Amino acid sequence: MKGTLQDAVPVTAGRVSPAPDDLYSASSVRDLFDRMSRSYERVNTALSLGFSVLWRRRLARLVPPQPADARILDAMCGMGETWTALVRRFPGTNLVALDFSSRMVDRARARSAARHGGKIAVVQNDMLVSGLSDGSLDVLVSAYGVKTFDRLQTELFVEELARILKPGGHFALIEVTEPPHRILRALYRFYIGVVVPRLARLLVAETEEYRMLARYLRAYGDGERTAAALASHPLLTVETRRHFFGCATSFNGRRVVV
C-alpha cells in the first residue's frame, strides 16, 4: 500500500477484554499464536485435510476484481498463508498485512521477503485499534481470526472495519465453525477437540495450543455473533455462506455509499 497507509500504524495493544486471564484477552490470544508460530501453517494444513487452503482461496474469490491501485489489507494475517491466493486474485495491487503476534509477524515478514520480493508490508498492531486512516482501504480480508473475539470485541472489530473501508469498499472473512447438524457437530467436536491435539503431538509435540483452538471453536459456534454484528451495522451489507456442511462460514459484503 501507499506509504501514508503503512506509516499510519503504530504498535499498540488495545484489545478490550474483561480480565487479563480471559480466553479473549490480548495477552491470551497473542501468547497462543506466538507459541504456535513454529508449526501453525503445516499442522493446520495437514489436520484440516487441506480444507484450510481451499477456504483461503474461496475467501479471495468472495471479493470482486480490483483495479491495480487498490489498497488491500490482510487483517490478522498470521504468517501470510492467504497471500498466494490474494496475489493470484489481485495481481499488481497494493497489499499490506497486519497481525499483533510478534512471532507471527516475524515469520510473515520473512515470507514476504522470500516469496514476494518484500513487496508485502507487514505491520504489528491489534486490529481493534488498527491506526489506519478513515476510508483508507478498498478491500479488507481475514482468514480464521474473528473467532478470537468475544461479542464486545466483535462489535469493535465491525466498527473498525466500517471506519477504515472506503465507501463502496469490500470485505470478506472466513472462519471455521461448528456444523448445524447435531451428529456432524458431535463428530466435528471430537475431531477438533480430541483427534487434532493427539495428531499435533505426533507432528510437533505440541498439544495444549491445539486444545485451545478447540475451545475457541466451541465458543464461537456457528459464527452468529459475527453475522449479527455485521448485519446490524448501518454502513455495511453482508452475505453469509456456509461451506462444507457448515464446517466453515464466510461473511462478505461492502461499505455502503451514502
pLDDT in tens, 237-247: 999 999 999 99
- Residues 138, 70: contact at Cβ < 8 Å? yes
Helices (H) and strands (E) counted in the chain, each on its own, are 11, 7
Query: In angstroms, rounded to a whole number, what is the distance separating the alpha carbons of residues 86 and 102?
Result: 22
The residue among 199, 198, 192, 197 whose CA lies nearest residue 248 is: 192
Query: In angstroms, rounded to a whole number, what is the distance separating the alpha carbons of residues 240 and 174?
Result: 10
Based on the number of CB atoms within 10 Å of its own CB, is 67 exposed (0-12), middle (13-18) or buried (19 or more)?
Answer: exposed
- Residues 127, 157: contact at Cβ < 8 Å? yes
AA identity, residue 185 = R
pLDDT tens for each residue of the chain, 258 residues long? 333 344 444 434 445 443 434 899 999 999 989 988 877 776 776 667 778 899 999 999 999 999 999 999 999 999 999 999 999 999 999 999 999 999 999 999 999 999 999 999 999 999 999 999 999 999 999 999 999 999 999 999 999 999 999 999 999 999 999 999 989 889 888 888 888 777 777 766 566 777 888 889 999 999 999 999 999 999 999 999 999 999 999 999 999 998
pTM for this entry: 0.88
Tell me what pLDDT residue 236 has.
98
Helix (H, G, I), strand (E, B) or coil at 76: coil
pLDDT in tens, 17-67: 434 348 999 999 999 899 888 777 767 766 677 788 999 999 999 999 999
Q: What's the grid cell of residue 243? A: 461451506
Q: Angle, to 10 degrees, between the axis of helix 26-36 and the axis of helix 208-220?
A: 130
